[in-house]
Amino acid sequence: MKIGIVGCAGRMGRMLIQEVLATPGAALAGGTEPSGPAIGQDLGLLIGAKVLGVAVTSDTRALFVASDVLIDFTVPAATKIHAELAAATGKALVIGTTGLGNDVRAAIAAAAKKAVVIQAPNMSVGVNVLLALTEKLAATLGSEYDVEILEMHHRHKVDAPSGTALGLGEAAALGRRVNLKDVARTTRDGQVGLRPAGEIGFATLRGGDVVGEHTVIFAAGGERIEITHKASSREIFAKGAVRAALWAKGRAPGLYSMRDVLGLG
């Protein structure tokens, strides 16, 4: 599988390059950046390795044409463009970008009619097991258990709650057969009153260099269940994304998630 990396000079982009090079069955098709000093630099030198003979470019369409599948951990505005290119070229697209608005989601849905699109709030295998467990527990425990989702990330993260936290909220809401937007509480400040029954709450922490920590709490009278995932390296996201890219081979066009990739349903 020829894999292209959009946004290849960022922290995740460089890690994705390393993971593609280390994965049997994967080949590096190239990488792009919209602008900046990385343009023209060899992708091997970009990650501190040997020269690969493939340079960073700004021609994203050309990278789509040259690749079997693209991996995107960029920003929502860029992801919208990449989804449109996937639709135009029919090339598979793996999306790890978070903070997606309705316009980007609409572009992704449109692309999935013509190409394989794998989109998940978190590409980690462990986090996707956590998502499946959250849905199962929410369905099993019932509404007498209050659901709270706590997440912490590094000081540079710009969106809150994290895409993974919102994904966990969606999983809990799915387990309870409710719409998350009807029961979510993302902030509490001042005299907020008693906690409404059925509410799914979110708490956000930011600081230091924390890669990502997520805890789902089910709290009832007399007991509390907590399930936690802690990421200590971004390598887990790169491994999951490359695994998803290889899984895309031969699939019919459609919108898939990491739970599909992992066979979690």
Report pLDDT for 264: 86
Q: Is 105 buried (19+), middle (13-18) or exposed (0-12) by CB count in 10 A?
A: middle
The answer to whether 21 and 55 have CB atoms below 8 angstroms apart is no
Q: Is 222 buried (19+), middle (13-18) or exposed (0-12) by CB count in 10 A?
A: exposed
Q: What residues are labeled active site?
A: 153, 157
Report pLDDT for 142: 86
d(CA 217, CA 150): 8
Task: Tell me which DSSP letter residue 157 carries.
Answer: -
d(CA 160, CA 13): 22
Q: Taking the model in full, what pTM does it have?
A: 0.82
Torsion angle defined by CA atoms of residues 127, 81, 251 and 112, in that order, rounded to the nearest 10 degrees: 90
Query: How many beta carbons lie within 10 A of that of residue 121, not counting itself?
Result: 24
**What is the mean pLDDT for each group of 10 consecutive residues in the chain (265 residues)?**
97 95 97 95 94 96 98 96 98 93 96 97 91 96 95 94 93 97 95 95 97 96 97 92 97 95 87
d(CA 94, CA 251): 13
Domains of the chain: 2-119+234-261 (3.40.50.720), 125-231 (3.30.360.10)
The answer to whether 57 and 39 have CB atoms below 8 angstroms apart is yes
d(CA 210, CA 98): 17
Structure tokens at 170: 């969606």
Residues contacting residue 87 through CB under 8 Å, at least 6 positions apart: 107, 110, 111, 113, 114, 115
163: phi then psi, degrees, rounded to nearest 5? -60, -35
- Look at residues 142, 70, 152, 147 and name the one whose alpha carbon lies nearest to residue 111: 70
Give whole-number Cα distances, 17 to 47, 56, 59, 80, in Å: 8, 12, 18, 22
